[in-house]
Every structure is written in C-alpha cells, then in structure tokens.
Chains A and B, each alone.
Chain A
Amino acid sequence: MSKPFLEVDGLSKVYPDGQGGELTVFEDIRFALEKGEFVCIIGHSGCGKSTILNVLAGLDEASAGNVVMNGKEVKGPGLERGVVFQNYSLLPWKTALNNIVFAVKARWPGWSKEKVREHSERYLKMVGLEHAMNRKPSQLSGGMRQRVSIARAFATQPELLLLDEPFGALDALTRGVIQDELVKIWEETRQTVFMITHDVDEAILLSDRIFLMSNGPNARIAESVKVDIPHPRARATIFQNPAYHKTRDYLVDFLVNRSGSALPEQDGSPKVVEPAKGIAQPEPAAAEPETKSETAARAVNA
C-alpha cells in the first residue's frame, strides 16, 4: 500500500500543570489524510484541536510524535501548508488586494508584478470581493475579512489547507453565505483541507470525513465518521438527504453523550464509522417533531 499524503503519528502535547506535575492535553493522536480530502475535526472546547492544527502548520511543537507530509517530516511552517486563522490575521496596513499580493509574492518570488496582481485579483473575485479590493481590513466587515483571508490561503495553492474555526466569529447568516463560497471554491480546486469547527451542520456540508475528539485531558481522536453524501453539495438542499440526518444524529449523540468516554481502536487509529451506510437512496423524508438531540445540536452550534 502506498503511503498516505499526510500521516500523523502518535502526537501528544504535555504542559506543566502549575503544581509541579504535568498535564497531557491530548495523546497518541494518529490519523492520515488522502490528497483532495476535506476533513473536519469536532470536539469540545479545550480538547486541543487548535494545538493539533498548529502542529500541522509547523507553528507549534508537539511533545511527542511526528507529522509526515509527502514523505517529509513537518518541522516548521511552510508555504505548502496554508493557514486560515479564526481571527483572520490580515495585515491591517495593507489593502484587501495587497494582503493577497503579499502571499502570492512570497509563494512565487519570480512572478512579474502583473502576473502576481492578476492572480491575486482572480482569487479575490472568487470570494466576491472585487469591489472591496482597495479597502483596508478595518473598513471590511468580519465576513468580508474572513473571505479575504480564505482567498489569501487558496491563492497560494498550498498542498494542505488548515482552517481553524474560520467562521466561528461570524453571525449565522454570513457564515452560511461563506460556507457556500467555500464549497464552491473547494469543488473548483479540490484542495486537501483540514478544518476545525464546532458546527455540526457545517462539518457535514463540507467534509468527506469528520474526526470526533474525546474530551481532554488525555483527549484522543476517537472516531472517524464518513459523510456519505455525494458532491456537489448545497446548503439549501442537503437537508433533504436522509444520510444527512443519520450522520447528524450520530455526531450530536457523540458530542452530548459519549465524548467523555469514547476511545479509538486498540492500535490508536480512530474507529471508522459509517452512520449512513446503506441509505444512499433518498427516501421521502418523514416530518419529525424536533427531537432532544436537535435542541442539543443547537446548543453545540451556539
């Protein structure tokens, strides 16, 4: 069997607990990503999702374990891994366009000025912001800033895109619109994406697989849930697919009832789960009264 595109092996993070002892935030994290996959990771706050993502980005170091991408160990940050941070991280003294130009120039130092600009404008257009090209981040709304930040990450065409709760700070309406845009860009580019979210619906809409993380300390990636819904997906119609509800119920149940105790396989790899197996055919959806789990899901979303 050929090596996977990205392999994470036995990652753990230990902090001193302030009383002379140690606190293991997460341990023995193992998973692999294939090229072109969109994978989301969900888990309760503080279990270490951002830390894992920062280790993949090369911005943080794990206490043990290693990350191998394309057969090379990840040792520091690099252009082949693009990052979108929750707080946008645009350079406030540069215009929207120049924030992208900055990244494109760093990625392809040999390109001519015109080529850099043309390429940057194309990606700004993809997120519908050509009219706001010359505005500074302070003159943009939160949603527009996050779009610039997404355009910047996609523009450098990294082999792996890392998104840390990119829509966490946005209102529900804006979040929906940008999710649609992300779906669109992803369908076009088929980048490999690893994304943190706390929104179950967002995870189902976007991912091929969803990693479920147990609670810390000593958190693990316990399960890998397959999302059996064909691409292209759309936010407006995905609700009609019965696989959607099965998957959603499964995720919510995990987060509400099982995240404290769930464990991965004996060998440390996440348990593979296919909650919607065998119901690929859409059935007429029965109108159900709102269940307890849906109320809980909203609490998780909030």
Chain B
Amino acid sequence: MASLNIRAALLSVSFLIVALGLWEMATQPPEAQTGMSEYEMLMGGADQESRVPPPSAVIKLAWAELSNPFYDAGANDKGIGIQLAYSVYRVLTGYLAAMAIALPLGFLIGMSPLMYKALNPYIQVLRPISPLAWMPLALFIIQDSDASAIFVIFICSIWPMLLNTAFGVANVRQDWVNVARTHELGPIKTALTVILPAAAPTILTGMRISIGIAWLVIVAAEMLVGGTGIGYYVWNEWNNLDLASVIFSILMIGVVGMLLDLALGKAQKLVEYKE
C-alpha cells in the first residue's frame, strides 16, 4: 500500500499548506493608516504587538529556539529543551513511582478477591478526584513545589495502571494458570512466567493511558507551581504577551506527548500475543 501512504502524505502536506496560508492571511497587519486614532495614540501602537502572530513569525521563532534549545540565561530565560526536560523528568519520576506501586498492588488485587473487595471502595472514591485538587494538600505537606508536581503526576497516573493490572491479572485464562499448577510452579514463578506475560497487554494499555494523562496534567501543574517546566514556560510567555512563543510551546507539548505515546505503543507491540 505504498501508493496509499504517498497519497496520504501528499494530502497531509497540502492540508498544512492551506491551513498555514489561511492563518498567514488572517493575521496580516491592517493597512498602514494615515493617522492614528485617538485610541491607538493612547495605546501607543501596542495593538500591533498583541495580535495573533502569523505562522511565519512562529516558524522563525521555532527555528531560533530549536537551533539552541538548551541555553540557560537565568531563571526566566531558559531554552525550550531545558523546559521540556524539566517536565519530562517530573512526568517520568511520578510515573515510575506510580508504576512501582500500581503493578504489585494491581497483582495483589487481581489475584485476591478478598483484597479486591477490601480496597475497591477506596479506589472508587480516590480515582475521580482531579489530580490538581491534591495540589494544595501536597504543597502543604511536602513543602516543595517540585516534589508536589511530581506527586500530582504520581496520583494521576496510578489509577489506570492499577485498575488495568488488576483486571488483566484477574482475567488470565484459568487454563494457563492450570498449566502452571500442573507443572508445580510456585506462586512467584507463576506470577512471573505465566500471569505477567498473559496480563502484559492489558497492563501496557493502562500504562499508555497513564502516560497520556500524566502529560496532560503536568502542564497544568507547572502553571500552578511555577519556576520551571513547559507549563510554566507557556504561562510565562503569555504574561509576556509573546504569543509566538506560546504557540510554539503548545506545538512542542503536542510533539513530546506524541513521542511518549509512541514509545508506550512500541512497548505494547512487544508484549502483544495472539490467541
């Protein structure tokens, strides 16, 4: 289906050109006027500055930013690469911590109906809480904005992993468990060589959902706690009224989110099996 791919690529590119063209036209500065109106004189011509920038301006800025993404010129002037790295670091730290708890706990809940019944009410109450609602409590208890952001990531990525692990483990086919039993595998060996591979696709689905949510939440969390990170960067550029930077960083958020999802998608492929 090479021809389909080529046709799709051509179509994609033309959509992009049309969209950028429309955007460029819609954001042309108005014709130079003969004289300033009274309002414009009052605003000192600032109106020019605050309109949505054309794509050419965004691309120019992107080029400049991406050719030196890791410069560091003080607290309020760091390269986009550094800001993204802060965010990715927080997401991964919180995410890995969530994994370290969600996978074993999910196994326990999945294998023991007793634990499932005992823990389910808590999970059902905690799960629908917006992760940002934890922020004040986290800031108060942890007393550290960076760790609080990581905690918020932890709390939002734990649920899909936990529930999917429990579900995957609980629904491993009895036949496969019986194979382990007739071969006298102990509980640990059974968990690792039969239940884990059998439940892995379901677990990975949960992990993929989690990383998506974590990346959504980190932007909001960093807008709240400030200091560093792509969320803070977006908010800061908005305060500076630098809309080209805002648009550029929005695109970068999308690109990094896509890469994270792609990585989990690849991992998912690795553990998939057909019955």
**Is this pair of chains taken from one and the same complex?**
yes
A residues in contact with B271, CB < 8 Å? 93
Contact between chains at B183 and A91 (CB < 8 Å): no
Which stretch from A81-89, A110-118, A183-191, A279-287 is at the chain B interface? A81-89
Q: List 15 A-B contacts (CB under 8 A).
A: A59-B182, A76-B181, A77-B182, A79-B184, A82-B182, A85-B175, A89-B176, A92-B274, A93-B198, A93-B200, A106-B184, A107-B183, A136-B273, A136-B274, A138-B273
Chain A, residues 255-272, CB within 8 Å of chain B (1/0): the string is 000000000000000000
Q: Whole-angstrom distance between the alpha carbons of A103 and B182 in the complex?
A: 9
Given A136-B273, A138-B275, residue A91 in contact with residue B176 (CB < 8 A): yes
Q: Which residue of A lies closest to B181 (CB)?
A: A77
Name B's A-contacting residues (CB within 8 A).
Answer: 175-176, 178-179, 181-185, 193-194, 197-198, 200, 271, 273-275
Tell me if A83 and B175 are in contact (CB < 8 A).
Answer: no
Interface centre among B182, B198, B275 (most CB of A within 10 A): B182
Q: State the A residues within 8 Å of B (CB).
A: 57-59, 76-79, 81-83, 85, 87, 89, 91-93, 102-103, 106-107, 136-138, 156
Across the interface, which residues of A come within 8 angstroms of B194, CB to CB? 91
Q: Which residues from B are CB-within-8-Å of A57?
A: 182
Shortest A236–chain B CB gap in Å is 34
Choice from B178, B184, B274 contacting A138 with Cβ under 8 Å: B274
**Chain B residues in 8 Å Cβ range of A85:** 175, 178
Tell me, rounded to whole Å, the shortest Cβ–Cβ distance linking B157 to chain A.
Answer: 26
A82 to B179, CA, bound (A): 10
Q: Which residues of B contact A89 (CB under 8 A)?
A: 175-176, 178-179
Q: Which residues in B have their C-beta under 8 angstroms from that of A138?
A: 273-275
Closest to B272 in A: A93
**Shortest 5 CB-CB contacts between residues of A and residues of B:** A138-B274, A106-B183, A93-B273, A89-B175, A77-B181
The answer on a CB contact under 8 Å between A93 and B178 is no
Q: How far is the CA of A169 from the CA of B182 in the complex (A)?
A: 22
Minimal Cβ-Cβ distance residue in B for A94: B197
Smallest CB–CB gap between B133 and chain A, Å?
40
Residues of A within 8 A of B185 (CB): 106
Tell whether, in the assembled complex, residue B184 and residue A92 are in contact, meaning their CB atoms are under 8 Å apart. Answer: no
Instruction: Report Cα–Cα, A83/B176, bound state, in Å.
Output: 12
